[in-house]
Amino acid sequence: MPKTTRTYWNPLDQAHNGAWQAIAGLEGMAEELTLSHDAETGEYTRLTRFQPGADTSPFGGKSHGYPEEVFIVSGRLYDAAFEMWLEAGHYASRPPGELHGPFKTDVGCLVLEISFPNRIA
């Protein structure tokens, strides 16, 4: 089964605010909106929106056994694993097992994420 498709729409339009889901454990700090998903492979494309002042330090960094790509759409996000501020336009293609986070933001941040959970290293 291929990834779900949808003709042009604007997920950032306020009319779609109700479609965003709080990320478990990060309620009030971050939420996500899945744009496309392949139920067979688990691959997905989603937006993650960090609220101004969000800080995931209590949860530490994380890594997973599959690759993912991230693109900072707007705002900025501090990645403690790399000791750097990621600003709009930053892109990464993360290999399986790469540590990232914890994250914090002062102004908020919107991240596009494309993940490949079945491509385990």
- Domain boundaries of the chain, sorted by first residue: 20-55+67-77+85-97
Q: What is the pLDDT of residues 55-102, one digit of tens each?
A: 999 999 999 999 999 999 999 999 999 999 999 999 999 999 999 999
pLDDT reading at 7 higher than 90: no
Q: If pLDDT is split at 50, 70 and 90, which confidence band does 17 have?
A: confident
- How many other β-carbons are positioned within 10 Å of the β-carbon of residue 99? 13
3-state secondary structure of 2: coil
What residues have CB less than 8 Å from 57, skipping those under 6 apart? 80, 102, 104
Q: If pLDDT is split at 50, 70 and 90, which confidence band does 34 have?
A: very high
Chain mean position to CA 10: 17
How many angstroms separate the CA atoms of 74 and 72, rounded? 6
| Token pair in block for residue 82 | 């790399």
pLDDT reading at 11 higher than 70: yes
Write down the pLDDT at residue 57.
Answer: 96
Strand partners, 110: 49, 74
